[in-house]
Structure 1
Amino acid sequence: MVPTLHASEAWDQFWEEMTPEVYGFYEARGGYRLQNDPYEKDMSIMEARTQIDLQSLPEWGTVSVKGDAYVDGVTERGEFDLREANLSITPMDFLDVKVGRQILTWGKGDLLFINDMFPKDWQSFFVGRDTEYLKAPSDAVKFGVFSDTANLEVAYTPRFDPDRYITGERLSYWNGSLQQIAGQNAVMSMQEPKGFFQEDEVAARLYQSLGGAQVALYGYWGYWKSPGGYNGNQTQAIFPSLDVYGASVEGSVGPGIFVAETGYYDSKEDSDGTNGLVNNSEMRYLVGYKQEIARDFTAGVQYYVEQMLQYEEYLRSLGAGNAQKDEFRHLVTLRLTRLLMNQNLTCSLFTYYSPTDEDAYFRPNIRAKLNDRTALEVGGNVFIGDQNHTFFGQFQDNSNAYVSVRYSF
């Protein structure tokens, strides 16, 4: 009887430790285009969403499960998005391990990504979902090794996790094979990812604090996260092999925070730049600065450059009649955030402007916290551009405004 009693007590203790803390929210969000798009619905977003976040904190680790169930009025379907399902343990004082579906992120850019090669959800970002949905989940194993000399994080993804990219199903876009704007009339056909361990990804970050600044080195071995080319007959978008090597630094300068980041994109399937169907290799650069310029009023500015390598080879391989990219793409961002009414009202504007592409993207947002549980939000996504083939210019007909109400628990 004694062993049975002890086993029963241990089982009861296990379930007591595994009893999760429950968080989440209910949300209704709706939005419409600000102009007619001949290829898409006028409705840009119309959702009723419930998120459940479960966390168990036993002595030996952390178990997290987070999922969203929602009804999508645009696609007229019910959806479930499992955003997290993972186990975190610390088997040794210097080692952390996290296994399962998780949101991974690193790098120093503010809504600009150089060395953060984890999947993004660009559809959510552009139609007006909460900014948290820009980061799509990865099915990965992440290791963290810590020491006084340096800290190392390695994320291994056994099956390629691409971005949730623009396909034409919900947002119109520049179709490179058609050389025109397209949408539901020409939904992009994609190369299907292969099975586990056939197309895997490895990302690594080595970082340490030096003299008050945080310095980091990055590496990524995988694939372009959004389609980076076409197959031979241009009937299917593909994800060519890609290696990325980069570095970043962040530290206090004057009253604010300065950041700098760079990355070399080695396009393995077009290393000499002669394959007109695959992205060329690139260098990417970013510097940024943010500070509080008045009480409850902060500003941040970034300057970002993409440099296409082997540009002369790119020009020679460019097909007749195809839109031509510049060797350098320059981009400036400005974030303004004002807190009012005892910080219960947040007014913000994030602006992207490219002087080389002559296009821009504005993200105005106002969020009012009515009480500890309820918040109202109104915002927009406004695209302008002189040419249809530039990054933001292609989305002009997707400009939209939205409103939401969220109840948290």
Structure 2
Amino acid sequence: MSKSRIFTSAFFAVFVLGELSAQELSFSGNLTAQAGAGIPSTHENKGHFLVGTTVFDSTIKSYTDDSTLFVNSQLVYDALSGLSPNGTESLVSNDGTFAFKLKEAYFDYNGGSFAIRAGRQIAAWGKADSIQIADILCPQDNSSLIASNYKESRLGIDALRLSFIQNSMQLDAYWIPFFTPSTLPLAKGNPLNPISFPKFYEGYELFSPKTWSDFDLPEKKLSNSEYALRLSSYFSKFDLSFYGFYGWEDTPFFEYEPNFTSESENADFSSLNLKGTYKRLLMFGADAAIPFGAFVFRLESAFFPGRYIQTSADYQKSCILSGSKVDFALKRNQIVGLVGFDWDAGSGWSVMAQYVADYAAGSVKELDRKAYLHLATLTLSKSLLNELLSLSVHSELDLCDFSSFIEPEVDYSLTDSITVSLIGDFYLEGRNNEKGMYGIYRDLSCVTIKGKISF
């Protein structure tokens, strides 16, 4: 059966079920169109379109007193053919122009002291804003970087969630039988593709994965299931949550495999195959939110015991040339922490600031990262004209190499349902032209026009 017929059948089934068994049925959605082009300083991308998408987002909700049927899906058109060419998103094989995305589709039953949710679902963990620390339950859409929203980038997981509710506390237990990886910019039309998967590395031709079938994904079997726990407590003076996760890294580790010109051990090679493999992951985390007057202070931390970390391409190259064993990932204990605050300054002003620290224990000379990474974020926003006009600036600063990202945005509400926006995405190199966290995306700096109608 074609994907379009599957979608039509699913939509019809949900509609009929809602009509027959629900007390209420609601339908809502929005249509978003945006186009963005590279600014003059982007060199190769100067004046080139880097964004060109139209997204129809629809939500169907059917509910009774104690149960809910919820479906959220998207139909996407990308004029750049930048959607990842895989079997679950592209409507046509290896064509990144059209896609159907089933974001969420679950059944929820609330029994008072307990609740059950089954199906594709999205859950946000942690208190950080636009930063991933303990928020690892759901994978991310890493195929979109420009004019994107971190909250909207979460992908749904196919899971069974059992919740126990007692006064101000809730315990959520997840069983995730099927692994869902983060989406990668595999399509040739994606502006991120030449950055994430370059054609050459230090003179060697690099053959990168083209579709998901080229990755070593975990086999779909019971022993490869993922498990998660979340304990949340809500008090008058503060909120506190604890997390536990045992599953898979949602992004692959890359191995550079040489293509030898002969079977001789001393044979030369002029090209490399880039292979991707997924590894197991264990995480313990916690967060807290503490209101104090016009401020809300946020704390979050995550500990990853024996986490696999990518080794550098230089290290792998030296191992290949010396004939020694190549480790494309090595285990290290890692801890990540955040402290931040939100401030409602009045008169339509709000301020949000965060500091993030990331430490990997042990030797890092073989790894594709520094031992200690840290960054700061600052978001300023102001509403005007009875909240019809909204101005904001979000910025991130890499405190190791001082590369940075700045995103100013202007939103104006033409009506209650129509909003137009002007968005800038600017990636800057650090001191001494260091790429750092953000400088590698310098050529993706652009200005985007966006329109959204909700219904």
Would you say the 8 A contact 2:38–2:46 is kept in 1?
A: no
Amino acid at match of 2:227: V
The answer (yes or no) to whether the contact 2:295–2:344 under 8 Å persists in 1 is yes
Q: What residue is the counterpart of 2:107 in the other structure? A: 87
Alpha carbons 1:168, 1:186 under 8 Å: kept: no
Partner of 1:6: none
Which residue identity lines up with residue 262 of structure 1 in the other structure? S
Taking structure 2 as the reference length, the TM-score comes to: 0.76
Measure the CA separation in 2 of the matches of 1:343 and 1:231.
52
Residues 22-37 of structure 1 mapped to structure 2, 5 A cutoff: 22-34=27-39, 35-36=41-42
Determine the structure 2 residue equivalent to 1:291: 343
Equivalent residues of 2:172, 2:231 under 8 A apart: yes
In structure 2, the residue matched to 1:43 is 49
Give 1:401's aligned residue. Answer: 447
1:307-358 superposed Cα distances (whole Å, 9 cap, x missing partner) = 0111x2x31x45xxxxx63211110000111111101111111111012032
Q: Identify the residue that residue 277 of structure 1 maps to in structure 2.
A: 328
Q: 1:344 to 1:112 in 2, by over 3 A?
A: same
Residue equivalent to 1:230: 255
Return closer, same or farther for 1:162/1:40 CA change in 2, 3 Å cut-off: farther
Q: 1:145 aligns with which of 164, 168, 171?
A: 164
Spell out the pairing of 1:1-40 with structure 2 (5 A cutoff).
15=20, 17=22, 20-34=25-39, 35-36=41-42, 38=44
Q: Quote the Cα distance in structure 2 between the aligned partners of 1:207 and 1:187.
A: 40
| Cα distance change on mapping 1:132 and 1:393 into 2, 3 Å | same
Distance 1:406 1:268, change over 3 A: closer
Q: What is the deviation of 1:177? A: 11
Unpaired segments ≥5 residues, structure 2 = 1-15, 82-95, 259-272, 316-325
The C-alpha deviation readout for 1:183-225, integer Å capped at 9, x for no partner, is x985675333421535322221112235611122111111222
SS in structure 2 at match of 1:65: strand
| Runs of 5+ consecutive residues of structure 1 not aligned to the other structure | 1-10, 319-323
* Alpha-carbon distance in 2 for matches of 1:259, 1:122: 26
Query: Match for residue 269 of structure 2?
Result: none
Give the match for residue 113 of structure 1.
132
Q: Relative to structure 2, which stretch is displaced further, 279-288 or 165-174?
A: 165-174
CA root-mean-square deviation? 3.3
C-alpha contact (below 8 Å) 2:42/2:442 kept by paired residues: no
SS of residue in 2 equivalent to 1:173: helix
Indicate yes or no: 2:179 matched with 1:160.
yes
Match of 1:4 in 2: none
Q: Which amino acid aligns with 1:50?
A: F
Distance 1:149 1:50 in 2: 37
SS of the residue 1:127 aligns to: coil
SS at match of 1:358: coil
| Alpha-carbon distance between aligned partners in 2 of 1:235 and 1:39, rounded to the nearest angstrom | 25
Aligned residue identity for 1:142: R
> Counterpart of 2:339 in structure 1: which amino acid?
V
Tell me the secondary structure at the aligned position of residue 397 of structure 1: helix
Structure-2 change in CA distance of 1:397 and 1:346 (3 Å) = same
Alignment match, 1:244: 283
331 and 268 in structure 1: CA distance in 2 versus 1, 3 angstrom threshold:
closer
2:6: which partner in 1? none
Report the equivalent of 1:213: 238
Would you say 1:122 and 2:134 are equivalent positions?
A: no
SS in 1 for 2:252: coil
Alpha-carbon offset, residue 379 of structure 1? 0.5
Cα distance in structure 1, aligned partners of 2:122 and 2:156: 5
Pick aligned residue for 1:197 from 212, 222, 228: 222
Map of 1:336 onto structure 2 = 380
Provide closer, same or farther for how the CA distance between residues 87 and 374 of structure 1 changes in structure 2, counting only shifts above 3 A. Answer: same
Secondary structure at 2:274's aligned position in 1?
A: coil
Partner of 1:98: helix, strand, or coil? strand
What CA distance in whole angstroms lies between the structure 1 residues aligned with 2:174 and 2:401? Answer: 34
Moved more, 385-394 or 168-177: 168-177
In the alignment, which residue of structure 1 is the partner of 2:295? 256
**Does 2:195 correspond to 1:173?**
yes
- Specify the code of the residue in structure 1 equivalent to 2:195: Y
Which secondary structure does the structure 2 equivalent of 1:281 belong to?
Answer: strand
> Are the structure 2 counterparts of residues 179 and 62 from structure 1 closer, same or farther at C-alpha, using a change threshold of 3 Å?
same
Contact 1:181–1:394 at 8 Å: present in 2 too?
Answer: no
Name the amino acid aligned to 1:111: S
State the distance in 2 between where 1:264 and 1:99 align.
Answer: 28
Taking the aligned partners of 1:378 and 1:180, their CA distance within structure 2 comes to 39
Residues 5-54 of structure 1: per-residue CA shift (max 9 Å, x gap): xxxxxx99961626631111222211122255659993222122222211
- 8 Å CA contact 2:38–2:45 kept in 1: the answer is no
Structure 2 CA distance for aligned equivalents of residues 84 and 185 of structure 1: 34
Letter in 2 for 1:227: P
Deviation at 1:134, TM superposition (A): 1.6
8 Å CA contact 2:401–2:435 kept in 1: the answer is no
- For residues 419 and 219 of structure 2, the distance between their equivalents in structure 1, rounded to whole angstroms, comes to 42
Q: Distance in 1 between matches of 2:387 and 2:419?
A: 13
